Structure 1
Amino acid sequence: MKLLFAVFLGLLATVSSSPVKSLEQDFVEYSADLVEKINLMNTTWKAGANFARETAASLLERFSTPGLSLEKAPKAPIVKHGRAGALPTEFDARTQWPHCPSIGRVHDQGRCNGGYALSAAAAISDRHCITFPGLHWNFSAEDAVTCMTPTIGLDGCTGGYSSDTWRYWVQHGLVSGGGFNTSSGCRPYAYKPCDHYEKGSYGPCQARPSSAVCHESCIAGYPVHYTADKRKGATYYRTGTDETDIQREIMDNGPVNADMTLYEDFFTYRSGVYQHKTEQSMGFHAVKIIGWGVENNQKYWLCVNSWNSEWGDKGMFKILRGTNECRMESNVHGGKIYR
């Protein structure tokens, strides 16, 4: 971990003639030189000050995932789409299935490094709504974070792989659950939203919890027993790595989720079509893909992040499409709902 911090510190020192900064500084101040560098490039996206009231050290520690890498991710079966025909230039699942409000919902993983579970559970919820119009069943990311056994045995809030969430859903099922501090579903998300923006309204993020406990019971007042509330999926898989495979998967079945390499400049994203401009990887992150389009002649995927709606472009971002940017197109996951 100290080596990782040292590399990151050295990277920022090379983009500025200013003195080396301390990891204990507020991240807005710490990353100012990096933001300036990105914006001077006149590239396809704009950077800005994010993660105020959080030190660089705490931010990097919270999102690092010791022992995990995309190379070690468990490999689900690959499903490719053979259907021919022209694809639209733009597609937005929110427009295609307007009766499913979950598609555009932006979550906040808070102090828990549970983006892998949040984005997968969100995509599963979307697909359930698409399969059963009018039935808004939100699958619990909290159930996945705390109750499934990760591939390498890490605590769920330390991080994990998206494929583990899909596999757990198929093999064991997930109960229902809404957002933090709600009475929605059997097991709502347990971690408070926090600031991921320059001047956020949620307050600072707390330290990552030392453990995530699996409570095989629903919240008080929920009328269904935990076991009876579980719903299993039919299948889970990876898509092909070609962009058309991913596009047809989204068009046919709904949003997908994807693991992506997390570069330090992604923390500073504000708008435009993201492509990493720094080389230091901080591990990986998981997001939901709900569509695609073209902006200023740049093809992009339209993605929903889990850092609340104040981060990025109202909680969303665009990322370069067709080039396996951040290895996203190699790690796209989906699954089928029992009808």
Structure 2
Amino acid sequence: MRFVILLCMIGFVVCDLPVHCLKHQVSGKWRLYLEKPTQKGVGLLPCGHEVPDRAKTSYMAYSSNFQPSQDFEVTLGDDYKVKSSSKSGEWTMVYDEGFEIKLGNMKYFAFSKYEPKGREGVSYCDQTLVGWYTNLDTQEKGCYRAEKTEKVESSESIKTVSIVQPEFMDDDDMKSLSFLQVQEKTPELNHDDLVEKLNQKEGTWKAKVYDHMKGKSFAEVAKSLGKKKGFRKDKSYKQQESTSNKVFIQTGEYSELPSSFNWKEKLSPPRQQGQCGSCYAIATMSMLSARLKIQGENVDLSPQWSLNCNYFNQGCDGGYPYLVNKFAEEQVLVSEAAEPYQGFDGSCNFQKAKSQSKVYKTKNYKYLGGSYGRVSEQVIMMEIMKNGPVVLSFEPSYDFMYYESGIYHSKAETNDYAEWEKVDHSVLCFGWGEESGVKFWMLQNSWGDQWGEGGNFRMKRGVDESAIESMAEASDPYVVNQNSSTSFSETKANNSDFDYEDDDSIFSFNQIRQNLK
């Protein structure tokens, strides 16, 4: 089967949203415009977005029908604090595509505005698309948008790519693809020579030419690396993001951490994401499943459910673990048995969740450190040891796809391949260790057990290798027994009652007890 690189071009065929806004462009005074709430509890509320969301239509979502019933002003501070006339709260960037505000008992999330002009699109960082708000006390939900009171100059968006897994499957395993198939062939690459050069360099890991690479061009193989666009860290961004924003724990607390620790026995076998940019969904569901197993609930949660039903993300075209966790808190998740993985976007059927004896939710979804970009090695380690595996994302160099064993660190001094685009890739981090004086993270990839160390890999720890320590995410899962009123303690998988409406596709909570507080 042909290998292709998936490019997000002017047609917005495959990509995350083509928008690029930084914290220093977003912080400041904003006016929020809210419609009346239209839903209470669980059920689809796309606010004009497709399900899953699509870059080619997201910028138009609900733009002509939006009718606000109230508005108010907030200030988003450089210290991640939020102030309004009567309340205070916190906010975070969601990578470079949007931001979320928590103010009192309310949460507000929206993507920054963009338009498909020119080759890569234009970002308007002083406006948002129509987004979502939630009342945490009543579970009422509605749509909103926001405008900054001080205008920010529009800017060109970052060119994006969506790149997926090396193909270990036959043609029959992947019959339905939603990707742009690039027909132009690029020169075949001598992978053996490249791997030989990588292995000649001093390092702590070994490279390998996998069978699926032989006879393929670099562009055809490069699609094995990730889910979404790279992040151009210019000088102005580095000046804005100082080390003062990092969160560090006390030395005494850090000294209690062992030199090695892992939750490997709580993991399910590595998945194969296939020709779908789903690593963000797989890593998040693997994190939540492992945490449920730690609680004593032996279940594998379904990434396919999130691909099909999560209107915050773009399905196989990419997305963010933070927004998978957000969806899991505001809606529900189902097991892998209820919605098996297919590797392409399917239709969302909430009736399937209604028919399950158990569904799953989360609480306390977060970027470790409190907001995007504030995490540290120690904070990640403490979270893993106390609560279970976490999701980490990184920017792999081209040599990562050749990884076979050892402690990975990039050996690529420069990238000489024109086809290559830097992308983010999300993986499960389940522990850490040290070998011959080299500290490492223990990670599970989503390329099957034929890659790396049985589907896992190790990466240098404490040096932010490939930006692995720049963004860490987690949330706390619990069980909802739909035919029981039993409430477990906070240390176990909690549950609460559902009462359903008559509608076949949407259902709602009657009671959300203390497990959402």
* Superposition pairs of residues 167-206 of structure 1, within 5 angstroms: 167-177=326-336, 185-191=337-343
Tell whether 2:347 aligns with 1:214. yes
Q: Following the alignment from structure 2 to structure 1, what is the Cα–Cα distance between the partners of residues 327 and 219?
A: 32
Candidates 307, 313, 325, aligned match of 1:166: 325
Contact 1:123 1:256 in 2 (8 A): yes
* Superposition pairs of residues 57-68 of structure 1, within 5 angstroms: 57-61=219-223, 63=225
How big is each residue's C-alpha offset from its partner over 1:51-93, in whole Å with a ceiling of 9 and x where there is no partner? 4366533333464656564979xxxxx9976682421111121
* Bigger Cα Rg: 2
Tell me: CA distance 1:315–1:306, structure 2 relative to 1, closer, same or farther (3 Å). Answer: same
Candidates 431, 438, 441, aligned match of 1:298: 438
Q: Following the alignment from structure 1 to structure 2, what is the Cα–Cα distance between the partners of residues 32 and 242?
A: 37
Tell whether 2:425 aligns with 1:285. yes
1:330 alignment partner, SS class: coil
Tell me: CA distance 1:30–1:228, structure 2 relative to 1, closer, same or farther (3 Å). Answer: farther
RMSD between aligned residues = 3.0
Which residue of structure 1 aligns with residue 354 of structure 2? 225
Contact 1:291 1:301 in 2 (8 A): yes
1:217 offset after TM fit, Å? Answer: 5.5
Candidates 390, 409, 434, aligned match of 1:275: 409
Letter of the 2:362 partner, please give it.
Answer: G
Letter of the 1:337 partner, please give it.
Answer: P
Tell whether 2:196 aligns with 1:23. no
Q: Following the alignment from structure 1 to structure 2, what is the Cα–Cα distance between the partners of residues 111 and 62?
A: 9
Which residue of structure 1 aligns with residue 377 of structure 2? 243
Tell whether 2:400 aligns with 1:266. yes
1:44 offset after TM fit, Å? Answer: 1.2
1:329 alignment partner, SS class: coil
Letter of the 2:438 partner, please give it.
Answer: Q
Unaligned ranges ≥5, structure 2: 1-6, 10-158, 160-184, 238-245, 370-374, 416-420, 479-493, 495-517
Tell me: CA distance 1:136–1:80, structure 2 relative to 1, closer, same or farther (3 Å). Answer: farther
Q: Following the alignment from structure 2 to structure 1, what is the Cα–Cα distance between the partners of residues 427 and 230?
A: 17
Candidates 252, 260, 274, aligned match of 1:90: 260
Question: If the length of structure 1 is used for normalisation, what is the TM-score?
Answer: 0.72
1:34 offset after TM fit, Å? Answer: 2.4
Contact 1:143 1:214 in 2 (8 A): no
1:258 offset after TM fit, Å? Answer: 1.0
Q: Following the alignment from structure 1 to structure 2, what is the Cα–Cα distance between the partners of residues 237 and 31?
A: 40
More helix per residue: 1
Candidates 209, 219, 238, aligned match of 1:49: 209
Tell me: CA distance 1:172–1:70, structure 2 relative to 1, closer, same or farther (3 Å). Answer: farther
How big is each residue's C-alpha offset from its partner over 1:78-109, in whole Å with a ceiling of 9 and x where there is no partner? 99766824211111212xxx4x3xx1521110
Q: Following the alignment from structure 2 to structure 1, what is the Cα–Cα distance between the partners of residues 226 and 440?
A: 26
1:31 offset after TM fit, Å? Answer: 2.6
Q: Following the alignment from structure 1 to structure 2, what is the Cα–Cα distance between the partners of residues 286 and 256?
A: 10
Contact 2:362 2:477 in 1 (8 A): yes
Tell me: CA distance 1:80–1:218, structure 2 relative to 1, closer, same or farther (3 Å). Answer: farther
Question: If the length of structure 2 is used for normalisation, what is the TM-score?
Answer: 0.48
Which residue of structure 2 aligns with residue 308 of structure 1? 448
Q: Following the alignment from structure 1 to structure 2, what is the Cα–Cα distance between the partners of residues 30 and 158?
A: 30
Query: Which has the bigger relative contact order, CA under 8 A and spacing at least 6?
Result: 1
Unaligned ranges ≥5, structure 1: 5-21, 73-77, 178-184, 192-208
Candidates 184, 199, 214, aligned match of 1:39: 199
Q: How many correspondences in the alignment?
A: 274
Q: Following the alignment from structure 2 to structure 1, what is the Cα–Cα distance between the partners of residues 390 and 317?
A: 22
Q: Following the alignment from structure 2 to structure 1, what is the Cα–Cα distance between the partners of residues 256 and 339?
A: 42
Which residue of structure 2 aligns with residue 145 of structure 1? 307
Q: Following the alignment from structure 1 to structure 2, what is the Cα–Cα distance between the partners of residues 253 and 64?
A: 26
Tell whether 2:470 aligns with 1:325. no
Contact 1:68 1:160 in 2 (8 A): no
Q: Following the alignment from structure 2 to structure 1, what is the Cα–Cα distance between the partners of residues 205 and 304?
A: 33
More strand per residue: 2
Letter of the 1:235 partner, please give it.
Answer: N
Q: Following the alignment from structure 1 to structure 2, what is the Cα–Cα distance between the partners of residues 330 and 62?
A: 22
Tell me: CA distance 1:41–1:143, structure 2 relative to 1, closer, same or farther (3 Å). Answer: same
How big is each residue's C-alpha offset from its partner over 1:3-56, in whole Å with a ceiling of 9 and x where there is no partner? 99xxxxxxxxxxxxxxxxx7363xxx5433321221111211111102436653
1:276 offset after TM fit, Å? Answer: 1.0
How much identity, in percent, do the aligned residues show? 27
Q: Following the alignment from structure 2 to structure 1, what is the Cα–Cα distance between the partners of residues 324 and 8?
A: 30
